[in-house]
Structure 1
Amino acid sequence: MSLPTKRSSCFSAASSSSSSPPMKKAKNGLHQTPQSQEDDNDKEAFSMEDDPTPAAANLSRKKATLPQPTKKLVIKLNKAKPTLPTNFEENTWAKLQSAIQAIFLMKPVTFDFEGLYQAVDNLCLHKLEEKLYQQIEKECEEHISAALQSLVGQNTDLSVFLSLVEKRWQDFCDQMLMIRSIALSLDRKYVIQNPNIRSLWEMGLQLFRKHLSLAPEVEQRTVTGLLSMIENERLGEAVNRTLLNHLLKMFTALGIYMESFEKRFLECTSEFYAAEGMKYMQQSDVPEYLKHTEGRLHEENERCMLYLDAGTRKPLIATTEKQLLECHISPILDKGFTILMDGRRTEDLQRMYTLLTRVNALEFLRQALSSYIKKTGQRIVMDDEKDKDMVQSLLDFKNSLDTIWEQSFSKNESFGNTIKDSFEHLINLRQNRPAELIAKFLDEKLRAGNKGTSEEELENTLEKVLVLFRFIQGKDVFEAFYKKDLAKRLLLGKSASIDAEKSMISKLKNECGSQFTNKLEGMFKDIELSKEINESFKQSSQARTKLPSGIEMSVHVLTTGYWPTYPQMDAKLPHELNVYQDIFKEFYLSKYSGRRLMWQNSSGHCVLKAEFPKGRKELAVSLFQAVVLMLFNDAQKLSFEDIKDSTNIEDKELRRTLQSLACGKIRVLVKVPKGKDVEDGDEFVFNEDFTASLYRIKVNAIQMKETVEENASTTEKVFHDRQYQIDAAIVRIMKTRKVLSHTLLITELFQQLKFPIKPADLKKRIESLIDREYLERDKNNPQIYNYLA
């Protein structure tokens, strides 16, 4: 006898065209009862009344005069509750219990799974779900408890013990899934309708968690084994990652991962890396330590992906970073940063930058960079013996810093500003010398003798030097020396490229404004105008009729305000040169009336054709050298005194001129006695044995070298010009403020003046203005100044 799965219904139909009673069918169910014994409440009957058939319709048309009865459809539902067989519940549970026990004992189930599923469904149909759920829960608890208790007291190796735990867990999962598939109707009909009831799977997890907590030895030993396996893996041993994955998933599924495992795991991780960090920092250099740290972080990240819970990643990485990086920031920077910077090890520096970014320690790295730049740059700037190479060293240093900034520091704006600020500090450690040397470096690069450099390379060099120029505070010092060197290049025709010269002027103009380059641009205008004047002079009647033959002369007419101030040096020039000067002066004044010409003999240069016994040569010399050499056209031997009387050249300049002719590499004259310096009483003889491989020979090397006195003169002129700027600034401030204390006045001056200045120098200028009655001291407080209108 089988239990029906659905309630059956009896249908009875009655037709109005039939006078017979409604037909009744036997109801399918557990009991087949006679028709006369059925109760109206235990059946479902359907009665159809007055439903016309086609035949009836035809009949009605034939008998249209007869009245037709009203036809209606009536449905009556009679609910019948099937009767359960005797001992049905006990017999069904016995069958289910036997199947559950077989599943837990991993024995074959003797019953058909479809029949088991149908049995659970029938129990649910007859409202026996609650008792069935309790019976299944009790049966599962007995077996789960036994399975976990079997692990208590196991004296096996940790790895074997973990395998046993994994086996119990995998068996439990398989068993609960099989039981759930049999009792699926229970989950669908009973659990869903009762929110407070766990699903069979969740019920199984709760039971497993409960009995695992009742066997703390098992849980603790499992966690200890897991931590031991992970530590062994960190030490380089191969471990069973699948086992780790399954057991940690077990902890996660049971909801005890964070409490039972993660907390202890993070503590062990912290202890492990704290010890390792101390050990490696002492034994290895910084690049190796950084590589090791990078590798460890990669391993921990991979560990999270392979078997740890996803939520562990953030605290695990943070713990690793803290012990390997955050606790060792100072040793890492102190021990390795300078080495990496000196070695230009961009890859290692990038690794350092990336790792320190992870622990928000970039500020420490930025401070280390600033300190390194200042310390290294100070050795470059403050070493007097290396002044010759200072600018090139600074350019190389800046270039390396820019490369590191781009490749290692990800073009971080803060680091870029640090490089700029630190460079500005170091380049102004010596107030004026770097500005002077930068100007001389440009002079060297822009000279015609700078061979092996293309226009593109020269342009790149000018751009790089301009970067150094931006850091200079005393730009007026640079301007003074640059203008002096530019004047020499223009007057002697030694510029490598006029286009390059103008390009540099344009760069300076963009950087500092037109006022800064006004005089420099004026110098170029004078040179261009002088070319036009010389062309006009050569075509003039004075030049065609009065000039001595055999002499070619070119004159640069310079505007006094644009060019450096040259010392006025007189000399007795050869007759031919005097005649040439007079004729040119006559021509110029006739063309430009109201002007005055002053000949700057110290800036002139000549090319002499010299006849030596061993061959003819052309000598490129200064005007003073030419005057001295032309004396030997009429004499074979002359003393120092004779030359001085004949040329009227100033003593110091004459000694330097003779030294360049008789004591340098190219000795057109022979000094008696021999020596490097020219003394009173020395005699000079034309060198008839002079030989040289070149036809044109430059003899003015010593004259082109700048003396200490010339540098001092240029610097002094800069200071003199600064006095006017300081005075103007003081008057401008006081005119606005009327009354001001000494401290505030000094503070405002430092803000307005664009060059470095000492407070003592400012005080002197204030005193000077007081003496000249621009300011006065307050009668009640000498530290307060009043402006005198």
Structure 2
Amino acid sequence: MLNAHGTSGSMSSGGSGSGSGSTTAGGAARGPAAKGKAPEMHDLAGSGSGLAAARARTAGVPRIGSASGPARKLVIKSFKVKPKLPETFEDDTWDKLRRAVEAIHARRPVPDGLEELYKACENLCHHNKQGNLYRRLEAVLQEHVVAELATLKQNVGGDANALRVLDECWRSYCQQMILIRSIFLYLDRTYVLQTPSLRSLWTLSMDLFRDHVVQDSEIQRRLVEGIVHEIDRERRGEQVSRTLLHSLVRMMVDLGVYLRVFEAPFLETTRAFYRYVGQMHMSAVSAAGDGHAGAHRVSEYLVHVVQRLEQESVRCGSGEGYLDPVTRKRLIQVVEDELIRSCASVLLDAGFDTLVAEQRVDDLARLFSLLERVGMLDELKRRLGEYIKARRARKTGAVMVRDPSRDKTMVADLLAFKAQLDRLLRHAFGGLESFDHAIKEAIGSFINQRQNKPSEMIAKYVDDLLRHVKGMTDAEVDAQLDQCLVLFRLIQGKDVFEAFYSKDLAKRLLLGKSASVDAEKSMLLKLKAECGGGFTTKLEGMFKDMDLSREFQRTLEDTANYRERIGPIDLTVFVLTANHWPTYPVVELNLPPELLRCQDVFRELYLLKHKGRRLVWQNSLGSCLLRAHFGGNAKELQVSLFQAVVLLSFNDRAVQTYSELQTQTGLEPKELVRTMQSLACSKTRVLSKGNPKVKEIGVDETFQVNEAFSAPQFRVKINSIQVKETVEEQEETNEKVFQDRVFQVDAAIVRIMKTEKRCTHAALVTKLFQMLRFPVATEDLKKRIESLMEREYMDRDPADRSMYVYVA
């Protein structure tokens, strides 16, 4: 029989005692030769009788492994003559493969089947022809790339056309290499993979395209300039092919030239583009000024910057993006440098103050976000502080405090201003603690520049609030008190606040002006939590005195004969501890006999229970409820004690002069004038005088009961002028605070010197600033030090005049 290569084989079968047999078929299997000589094939094929004889001899032979005889072995014989490849086998096979590669490059149908071509490559590899095959394929690929470069140079025209031609060439090249690699896949996965010095077929193809096409100076220039030009067109609002740009950028990334060839010039042109855009917009912003028009320009620019940043971010993102993500960080940094960092000062100068004044939260939030990106929040905080402290004629906190004409509305305006800043802090400045500190520091800087007035006005504002809390929920009251405490924390003259607050609290408690005891005690607890128990000791004592007075009043009501002794008058007396309450001047007043009898009865009963105490009546704090008749029209008059004494005097005489009233009441002229003005010159005129239109009270002025007085209410309240705090009383309170501060400064100096024994002037002043809770000038400290030296508490060191020595 014949195999595919024409070689001969033999098969023999021996008897039971002839040894082993062998089988050889077409050289595919080889084995040791048989011990006995096997008949040649041509002997078996020589005649029909011989073949028949052979078959006859084998017909009766038992099968191998049968029970009739021992097992027999099959032995495979080797070729006597080793097969040889045809001399033209490698060349013929390569020609077939080369024709297929050239057909693929020429975009023609491949003449042979892909399976046949793959087998041809495999046969060459099996016969150790891999090295020549790899070198020949590399040469063909290089030749093709060089030809493609020449074709490209002939076909490229304008920039956009060059990009399309290059992209088509690249896509076609990649598709061709995918097909070629599939044909030579066996070579790529065996020989190339096992040889470290060789590149894979795909890497080889990429390197060839890069080295010969992309690295060509003309092609590279057209590629980079074309992509940059297309991106510039898109930035100006024109439509471009993002698919084309994505493909070309992906080509540079795959070839490993993206960063080296494209990114640097791209970022350079991007910087130039946005530098021009920023300068153009800044010119428009500067021309608009720093008013409303400038703020409008700034607002438009901020929106424009946000849009630009988003556009550039999309270019480097997934989806519609086409630039490599590695460029995103550097690209965004370029945009931030040119549109934010270099323009920040102009933006803040032109529009920041107006944006804050107009509460344009969205624009300020954009400005905050953009400046945060470039690390310029410190500059934004500085500008915010400058706005708050500005002295310009507008609605800023500094103007509210420094303008004396706005004292009455100072605290309300400051609270509204602080609320606006807090709103910006939450919604525009991200609620950052550093911005909160900047706002408080700025408010504190200007609110303490006007000595004691802000502290006084905050106390007055709290007083007015606690007088009118009816109709408000507890939460609303707490919220308003907390707002007042925000300003209270910022003032340095807390002792001034305490002085005015205690004075107003005394009036609210004694005259029944407080609208809610719960609100009063809530404020007291807040002050105690804020400043400690020492700050509220006197205030707590005032509440305690009121409670003890009410308790003693109930005791009096249960005392035998108490009602008979005081008569038909309902008497209520508050006993005040002098150390807890403000100091009130003693005003002389001639009380009617009925009131004197009530005082005597109360004094007698009180001293029986509390021996050794001294009672001093404060006439200026008294109030009365009188029943009066005006031409048969009965009314109840709620008046002060001074007003009551004056009105009761008209029960004896219908007409009286000013001099007669002064003699009968015993009031000093200033108090009497105020009292008569409130009774005869106010809206509620229960007395009439000669010329009611003139508020001045003459010495010879005559007064009589106004029988024509009428009012819609049965109980009429006549405002007492002396209840309102006068300028003199304010000055007196401030002077008292100043004297207290003098004592505190002296005590602090002695305390420090007693501890240190020796201390320089500079060190002593520094320690005093740290210890004192109120503002004090260095000159005032120097005066107090000199005063203590005069009183021999301390002295100078004779050897060092700048050193103070404590004198024990």
TM-score, L = length of structure 1: 0.91
2:637 aligned with 1:619, yes or no?
Answer: yes
Q: What CA distance in whole angstroms lies between the structure 1 residues aligned with 2:735 and 2:341?
A: 54
Q: How does 1:512-661 map to 2 (within 5 A)?
A: 512-549=531-568, 551-613=569-631, 615-661=633-679
SS at match of 1:481: helix
What CA distance in whole angstroms lies between the structure 1 residues aligned with 2:136 and 2:66? 63
Query: Does the Cα contact within 8 Å between 2:24 and 2:78 map onto a contact in 1?
Result: no
Q: Structure 2 counterpart of 1:679, which letter?
A: G
Matches within 5 A, 1:221-620: 221-283=222-284, 285-305=297-317, 306-375=321-390, 376-447=396-467, 449-549=468-568, 551-613=569-631, 615-620=633-638
Matched, 1:762 2:806: no
Within a 5 Å distance, the mapping from 1:93-242 to structure 2 comes to: 93-154=94-155, 156-212=157-213, 215-242=216-243
C-alpha distance in structure 1 between counterparts of 2:783 and 2:15, whole Å: 136
State the distance in 1 between where 2:14 and 2:449 align. 122
Residue identity in the other structure for 1:228: H
Q: Flag the 1:427–1:79 CA change in 2: closer, same or farther, 3 A.
A: farther
Distance 1:123 1:626, change over 3 A: same
- CA distance in 1 between counterparts of 2:195 and 2:621 reads 111
Answer whether contact 2:646 2:661 (CA < 8 A) is retained.
Answer: yes
Contact 1:380 1:393 in 2 (8 A): yes
| 290-299 or 75-84: bigger deviation | 75-84
1:350–1:407 CA contact under 8 A, matched in 2 = yes
Give the deviation of 1:353 after TM superposition. 1.7
- Deviation (angstroms), 1:157: 3.2
Per the TM alignment, residue 432 of structure 1 is displaced from its structure 2 partner at its CA by: 0.9
Displacement after TM superposition at 1:26 (Å): 2.9
CA contact (8 A) 1:148 1:168 kept: no
Offset at 1:680? 2.6
| TM-score (structure 2 length as normaliser) | 0.89
Tell me how far apart the structure 1 counterparts of residues 771 and 434 of structure 2 sit (CA, whole Å).
26
- Identity rate, percent: 47
Aligned in 2, Cα 1:530/1:104: closer, same or farther, shift over 3 Å?
same
Residue matched to 1:47: none
Work out the CA distance in 2 between the residues paired with 1:724 and 1:628. 42
* Post-superposition CA distance 1:140-160 (Å, at most 9, x none): 222222222122154633222
Q: Deviations over 1:522-561 (max 9, x none)?
A: 1111111111111111221241332223x11110111111
Counterpart of 1:297, as a letter, is L
- Shift in Å, 1:409: 2.0
- The structural deviation recorded for 1:506 is 0.8
User: How many Å apart are 1:230 and its aligned residue?
Assistant: 0.3
**For the residues of structure 2 that align with 1:544 and 1:19, how far apart are their CA atoms?**
159
Q: In the alignment, is the contact (CA less than 8 A) between 2:639 and 2:720 conserved in 1?
A: no
Kindly provide the CA deviation profile for residues 240-290 of structure 1, in whole angstroms up to 9, marking residues without a partner as x. Answer: 000001111111122221122111100010000010011123335222211
Q: Deviations over 1:680-718 (max 9, x none)?
A: 322222212212222211112422321000001111111
Give matches, 1:639-718, under 5 Å. 639-674=657-692, 675-718=694-737
The answer as to whether partners of 2:659 and 2:700 remain within 8 angstroms in 1 is yes
Q: 1:590 to 1:199 in 2, by over 3 A?
A: same
- Retained in 2: the 8 A contact 1:117–1:183? yes
| Separation in structure 2 between the aligned mates of residue 319 and residue 59 of structure 1, nearest angstrom | 96
Secondary structure, counterpart of 2:248 in structure 1: helix
Q: In the aligned structure 2, how far is the partner of 1:484 from the partner of 1:212? A: 93
Q: Secondary structure at the match of 2:22?
A: coil
User: What root-mean-square deviation, in Å, do the aligned CA atoms of Structure 1 and Structure 2 show?
Assistant: 2.9
Distance (Å, rounded) in 2 between the aligned partners of 1:176 and 1:210 = 16
Q: Distance in 2 between matches of 1:124 and 1:610?
A: 132
1:46 maps to none
Contact 1:326 1:359 in 2 (8 A): yes
Task: Show CA shifts across 1:464-523 (max 9, x none).
Answer: 111211112111111110000000000011111101101111111111111111111111
Q: Distance in 1 between matches of 2:781 and 2:713?
A: 56
Deviation, 1:322, is 0.8
Q: Which moved more, 1:355-364 or 1:565-574?
A: 355-364
> Do the aligned residues in 1 keep the contact of 2:797 with 2:804 (CA within 8 Å)?
yes
CA gap 1:107/1:645 in 2 versus in 1, 3 angstroms: same
The alignment covers a number of residue pairs equal to 760
Relative to 1, partners in 2 of residues 1:3 and 1:654: Cα closer, same or farther, differing over 3 Å? farther
SS at match of 2:224: helix
Counterpart code for 2:601: I
Q: In 2, distance between residues paired with 1:222 and 1:778?
A: 86
Distance in 2 (alpha carbons) for counterparts of 1:229 and 1:435: 66
Whether the 8 Å CA contact 1:617–1:697 is kept in 2: the answer is yes
In structure 2, what is the equivalent of residue 719 of structure 1?
738
Q: Which moved more, 1:398-407 or 1:492-501?
A: 398-407
Amino acid at match of 2:594: E
Deviation, 1:134, is 1.6
Give the match's secondary structure for 1:620: strand
Distance 2:315 2:80 in 1: 63
User: Could you say which residue in structure 1 is the equivalent of 2:58?
Assistant: none
Unaligned runs of 5+ in 2: 31-36, 42-62, 286-296, 391-395
- Structure 2 counterpart SS, 1:27: coil
Kept in 2: contact 1:628–1:647 (CA 8 A): yes
3-state SS of the aligned residue for 2:703?
strand
* Residue pair 2:24, 2:76 contacting (<8 A) in 1 also: no
* Deviation of the 1:767 alpha carbon: 2.1
* Segment of structure 1 superposing worse, 12-21 or 691-700: 12-21
Runs of 4+ in structure 1 deviating by more than 4 angstroms, as ranges, are 2-5, 8-18, 34-38, 52-56, 71-82, 449-452
